[in-house]
Structure 1
Amino acid sequence: MNWEDFRHWGRRAADWAADYHAGLRNRPVRAQVAPGAVLSALPDAPPEGAEAMQAIFDDFEQTIMPGMTHWQHPRFFAYFPANAAPVSVLAEYFVSAIAAQCMLWQTSPAATELETRVCDWMRQAIGLSGGFTGVIQDSASSATLCAVLTMRERALDWQGNKAGLSGQPRLRVYCSAEVHTSVDRAIWIAGLGEENLVRIPTQGPTRAMDADALRAAIAADRAAGHLPAGIIACTGGTSAGASDDIAAVMDLAEAEALYTHVDAAWAGSAMICPEFRSLWAGVERADSVVMNPHKWLGAEFDCTTHFLRNPDDLVRTLAIQPEYLKTHGADGVVNYSEWSVPLGRRFRALKLWFLIRAHGLEGLREMIRNHVTWAQDLAARLDATEGFEIVTQPMLSLFSFRHLGGEDLDAHNQDLLNRINDDGRIYLTQTRIDGALVIRFQAGAFTATAEDVAMAYDVITELAAA
């Protein structure tokens, strides 16, 4: 394909995308193919010669699309949203066409300076103080890894990267069992070892870390000769929206001189609404905070905003400056590759800039408030329906429930969930609460309506009755 051919196919791609989204409600949300069906339809060997674009496009529609789960479907109520607002998709189109490598200020000054500006816009939008500075990471997993590496280096007086961990005391990091598994991976990759991730019991309806148990764990580790390094708290845990008492965590962290990271990957988007900020009261005292505009706000994946009270600690942990990466003749510039694990960086700031300008904060607030209200209404309807139990109350737009039927409730609810997802009209996922299997519901699709959420009630109760 040359750029003249691209004119034709670019227009066709735009038409296809608009038609695809217009017809999403007519498609089953989850892919309805058997394992291996797509693989068996693909040739074993690559083509030796060029193939016609029309043939490639036909195979895309006939082979690939039937095997796709539709994350932009308005009745995608599983996991968390991975929204892609149309204006964000358009911005990504431009990013792909420009195809810049934005690792340094000099490799695209506009990309760096726009990132600085939109991160500060997001900081203001979610109510963080001016003491925070932001950077766009690819995902919350990378931001958490950055935080764990920084915890490690601070605890070892910046000698970990140089001397390694051999001969050092065992570094300890504290969190609850409700945090995302990206924390486990960060601990692995940072070389700390899973045994040194200390799980603190939770308590209360918010399933928050028990502050007394946290204090006792830190004291016991110090007495045993271990070296506490940091605490990872969450606002809106993946399973059921668990939220730690951030202020209580910060009290302990400050008393113990520990680095703190707050994972608000999904729920952080809701902080653009001032009425929800009580969920993370005390966050302004954290060292590191992460939230994902690519989840609830509509910035196409990947786009994670990572806020730091002292970015110098992160840069000291990650920066490597060989001669070929130095910027000469431009003082005071920021090179965001020194704030991230990967050297290479996409121009992620553009889609966030397009998104905020095209919708405005008030438009995004209205969407989030609607999702929260609709989820609360659905939970109330299910709670009032015979045979249903709300297991965890709505945390923003996320709650869990189960249907009471049969002797083995876990098997019964897994069967119900399987039938719901095979039906295709909605898509839900499961989790475990205190060992019991439950069904999760989360409203967050960018194009969802009250009617879509109401249909979830109809599908759930219809199939439960069957």
Structure 2
Amino acid sequence: MNHDDLRHWSKVAADWAHDYHTHLRDRPVRAPLTPGAIAAHLPALPPEEAETPDAIFADFARIVPDGMTHWQHPRFFAYFPANASPASMLAEQLTNAMAANALIWQTSPAATEIEQVMVRWLGSALGLPEGFVGTIHDTATTATLSAVLTMREQALGFAGLEDGLSGGPVLRFYASAETHSSVDKAVRVAGIGQRNLVKVPTDAGFSMDPGALAAAIAADRAAGMVPAGVILCAGGTSIGAFDRIAECIAVAKAEGLPVHVDAAWAGSAMICPELRHLWEGVEGADSIVMNPHKWLGAQFDCSVQFLRDPGPQVRTLGLRPTYLETAGREEIVNFNEWTVPLGRRFRALKLWFTLRAYGLVGLRERVRNHILWAQEARDAIAALPGVQIVTEPSLSLFTFAAATDAQTEALLARINDDGRLYLTQTRHQGRYVIRVQVGQFDCRRDDVMMIAKVIADLMG
């Protein structure tokens, strides 16, 4: 395949993509397959001779679409969405064509500078005060790991980078049980250890109890351990819980501890001013992460970390050997120094296209509709016999269950095997429950109201 072939097949692919999205509602959301079914279609060994683009594309069309879970399906209500607006898809085509590695400024000046501007745009859209800067990671997992590594080094006076952790003090981090598992992964990867992630008790609203946070920090200090940082939750994955951000930050600051706020999903909703009370006080955080790829239509992967002061994170993660220097530009921003990977994609382009193509007005309308429709779906499900609402909507996320865990699990299996919807599960207070999360970019009210209809059909 050469660039002339690419020109032709790119047009074929664009037509295929248009047809795919036009008829996506006709497909089951989740492929009804068993493990190994797709691999069985592929040869055991790679081809020795080149194959034609016709044959390659024909095999793609025959094998791949029917073997996918369709994340862009308008009735995908599982996990959180990984949205891809048409504007974002267009930007990704251009990014792929240029195929740049934006590891430092001189390797992609436009990528670096557009990223800086997009972080400012998004910070303004979220109501964050001027002064926050940031970078675009692949996912919130990387952003949270970057924050934890930075807090680790601040607690060690940056000695861990040279000396390692062996023989050092026991560092302690604090989060609630409602935080995402990426927090647990971060403390493991950072060498802190799972035992040193303190899950602070929550109140009746499943928010971190500020008094319990203060008590946990005091107890650890008394035991000779070193508190290193606090990770707060703004829209947890299981039930959408929000910590009491302002109160917990006040406790952390009184103890001299940095704070990272995980708003990976719910942060996008803060483009709506009337929702910002949910993370009131967030401006006091040192680090905040939110994912435009979850609810704002920027194609996965696109996770933005805002930083009050990038200095500690750059000191923790930055390395600048001679081959990565830009002569005469010692103070230039090189975003690889703000994160874990050296290589970086040009992620800012899709954010630029998306924010311009829909505007904040259009994006706010989507968020508000999803929240409204989720409440309507909650009410319709609550009216069905044999199921009950377990947690009320937090933005566009709520949970429900049947009478017993076994019945709930069986109901979820029937729903997903049916194909009209895709939902996922969690455990809440020991109970197996089904999550409903409305947020797919192209969903409509009738798609959301289909949830209650499918449940009624399957339980009837």
Q: Distance in 1 between matches of 2:329 and 2:285?
A: 32
Where 1:28 maps in the other structure, the secondary structure is coil
- Corresponding residue for residue 326 of structure 2: 327
Q: How does 1:27-66 map to 2 (within 5 A)?
A: 27-66=27-66
| C-alpha RMSD of matched pairs (Å) | 0.9
TM-superposed deviation, 1:329: 2.0
Tell me, in whole angstroms, the C-alpha distance in 2 between the residues paired with 1:451 and 1:382.
14
The residue type paired with residue 409 of structure 2 is Q
CA–CA distance in 2 between the matches of 1:410 and 1:331? 59
For residue 50 of structure 1, give the secondary structure of its aligned residue in structure 2: coil
Distance 1:47 1:384 in 2: 57
2:396 is aligned to 397
Q: Which residue of 2 aligns with 1:271?
A: 270
Selected match of 1:415 from 397, 410, 419 = 410
Query: What is the TM-score normalised by the length of structure 2?
Result: 0.99
Residues 1:447 and 2:446 aligned together: no
Give the alignment of 1:11-22 within 5 angstroms. Answer: 11-22=11-22
**Paired AA for residue 329 in structure 2:** A
**One-letter amino acid of the structure 1 residue matched with residue 394 of structure 2:** M
Gaps of 5+ in 2: none
TM-superposition CA deviations, 1:43-80 (whole Å, max 9, x none): 11111110111111111121222110000000000000
**Residue 387 of structure 1, CA deviation:** 2.5
- TM-score, normalised by the number of residues in structure 1: 0.98
Matched, 1:25 2:31: no
Displacement of 1:168: 1.1
Amino acid at match of 2:188: W
Structure 1: runs of 5+ lacking an equivalent: none
User: Are the aligned partners of 1:77 and 1:443 in contact in 2 as well (CA < 8 Å)?
Assistant: yes
1:177 matched residue in structure 2: 177
CA distance in 2 between counterparts of 1:154 and 1:110 reads 32
Residue 177 of structure 1, CA deviation: 1.1
Task: Answer yes or no: is 1:463 the counterpart of 2:425.
Answer: no
Secondary structure at the aligned position of 1:202 is classed as: coil
Output the CA distance in 2 between the equivalents of 1:380 and 1:447. 22
**For the residues of structure 1 that align with 2:385 and 2:70, how far apart are their CA atoms?**
32
2:219 maps to amino acid: A
1:81 aligns with 2:81: yes
**Matches of 1:112 and 1:37, distance apart in 2:** 42
Alignment length, in residue pairs? 460
Q: How does 1:36-435 map to 2 (within 5 A)?
A: 36-205=36-205, 207-330=206-329, 332-404=331-403, 409-435=404-430
Secondary structure of 1:441's match?
Answer: strand
Amino acid at match of 1:397: S
Q: Secondary structure at the match of 1:175?
A: strand
Give the C-alpha shift of residue 34 in structure 1: 1.3
Residue 364 of structure 1 deviates from its aligned partner by: 0.3
- The amino acid across from 1:272 in the alignment is I
Partners of 1:396 and 1:284 in 2: CA distance = 21
Q: Distance in 2 between matches of 1:94 and 1:234?
A: 35
Q: Which moved more, 1:327-336 or 1:266-275?
A: 327-336
What's the offset of the Cα at 1:131? Answer: 2.2
Q: Write the letter of the residue equivalent to 2:359.
A: G
Partner secondary structure for residue 50 of structure 2: coil
1:403–1:464 contact (8 Å) kept in structure 2? no
More displaced, 51-60 or 217-226?
Answer: 51-60
Q: State the secondary structure of the residue aligned to 1:306.
A: strand
Instruction: Please tell me the residue identity of whatever aligns with 2:11.
Output: R
Partners of 2:393 and 2:449 lie apart in 1 by 16
Letter in 1 for 2:271: I
3-state SS, counterpart of residue 294 of structure 1: helix
Partner of 2:6: 6
1-structure distance, mates of 2:149, 2:451: 42
Shift of 1:143: 0.3
Q: 1:331 deviation in Å?
A: 5.5
Letter in 2 for 1:155: A
The Cα of 1:248 is off from its aligned counterpart by 1.1
Distance 2:169 2:336 in 1: 30
Give the drift of 1:285. 0.1
Q: Give the Cα separation in 2 of the matches to 1:300 and 1:215.
A: 39
SS of 1:59's equivalent in the other structure is: helix
Aligned amino acid, residue 197 of structure 1: L
Shift of the alpha carbon at 1:241? Answer: 0.4
Conserved in 2, the CA contact under 8 Å of 1:430 and 1:438?
A: yes
- Contact 1:240–1:395 (Cα < 8 Å) also in 2: yes
Larger deviation, residues 56-65 vs 371-380: 56-65
State which drifts further: 365-374 or 100-109. Answer: 100-109
Over the matched positions of the two proteins, sequence identity in percent amounts to: 60
Residue 291 of structure 1 and its aligned partner are, at CA, apart by 0.1
Deviations 1:129-186 (A, max 9, x none): 1121121111100000010001100000111111111111100000011111111111
